[in-house]
Amino acid sequence: MKGGNDPLWIIPNSMQASSLFWFVAGLLTLVGGAEFLVRGASSLARRLRMSPVVIGLTIVAFGTSLPELVVSAGGSMKGLGGLAAGNVVGSNIFNIGIILGAAALITPLRVQFSLIRVDAPVMIAATCLGASLMAWSVISRPLGALLLILLAAYTVFQIRIAGRTTNDTVDAEYREALPEPSGGPLRDSLYVLGGLGALVIGSQWMVDSAVELARAWGVGEAVIGLTIVAAGTSLPELATTVLAACRRQVDIAVGNIVGSNVFNLLGILGVSAII
């Protein structure tokens, strides 16, 4: 009843319906956890007088990729390398093809932020590097560590040059997107801890249900990772980028996609390979 030329395989039986339920539940838990973690971490960073631009380039851009990170890491822990790598590749394709395209439909993407001149080539180089490593079929632990070192160097470089290259217009965009914190540090810390817990639980549900769906539909885990898992874990980027585009915050919209793709290729592949 599944695969082949029989169309009835797409009709969910009770087991598939259960897997779909837990997949959606895990996805919603992941997205909610990422939102709470980013909100709490951003608020704590503002209390520490960090620049809004630096917060946007690091905590927000990387934080929206946390669902991809925990799902790929969870897949690696279960020996599902195809799911882990497919999630990274599919998410980056979704980010550029769907999310960036949607932002361009909302408002013209006239990017003023000078760091994009650096970040876009970095994203292209990271894409070429990731493709070359995956062509070998196996990314070893030393190569994974190298990817993390490259990500750390890129992040430090971003922070060091942000203050020298940011103009008033861009700074105002990030300041508007990151309002002044309300409440106390304890609430922010609870947001961070609660978000982390939700990410762990949601990733467990999503990975397990994705494997069940792959088996029920007769496809490989990599196909599931490239499609529904990648699209689902990219929802935080979609929400952040579309909202920024609606507010005409073009630098945030494009910067979020570029930063997220770099993090996916260097950070998530690196962590998954080490695991």
Residue 222's nearest CA partner among 84, 43, 34 is 84
DSSP single-letter state for residue 227: I
116: which residues sit within 8 A by CB, 6+ positions away? 251, 254, 255, 258
C-alpha to C-alpha distance for 40 and 54, rounded to whole angstroms: 16
What digits encode the pLDDT tens for the residues 184-219?
A: 888 888 888 998 899 889 888 988 888 888 888 888
Per-residue model confidence (pLDDT) at position 164: 67
Distance CA 17, CA 65 (A): 27
The predicted pLDDT at position 270 comes to 95
pTM over 0.85: no
CA dist 167 and 218 (Å) reads 53
Classify the phi-psi angles of 254: left when phi > 0, otherwise alpha if psi is within -120 to 50, otherwise beta.
Answer: alpha
State how far the Cα of 227 lies from the Cα of 6, in Å rounded to an integer: 21
Query: What pLDDT is stored for residue 179 in this prediction?
Result: 64
User: Which CA distances in Å does 272 have to 69, 77, 174?
Assistant: 8, 8, 31
Rounded CA separation 100/259 (Å) = 13
pLDDT in tens, 253-263: 888 888 889 99
Q: Which residues of the chain have pLDDT under 50?
A: 1-11
Cα–Cα dist 13/106, whole Å:
39
How long a stretch of residues is the chain?
275
What integer pLDDT is reported at residue 114 of this predicted model? 60
Does residue 136 sit in helix, strand or coil? coil
Contact 268, 129 (CB under 8 A): no
Cα–Cα dist 29/272, whole Å: 21
The tokens for 170 are 């861009």
Cβ neighbours for 68, distance < 8 A, ≥ 6 positions apart: 87, 88, 91, 230, 233, 234, 264, 268
Q: Helices in 166-220 by DSSP H: which ranges?
A: 168-177, 185-217
The pLDDT score that the predictor gives to residue 1 is: 41
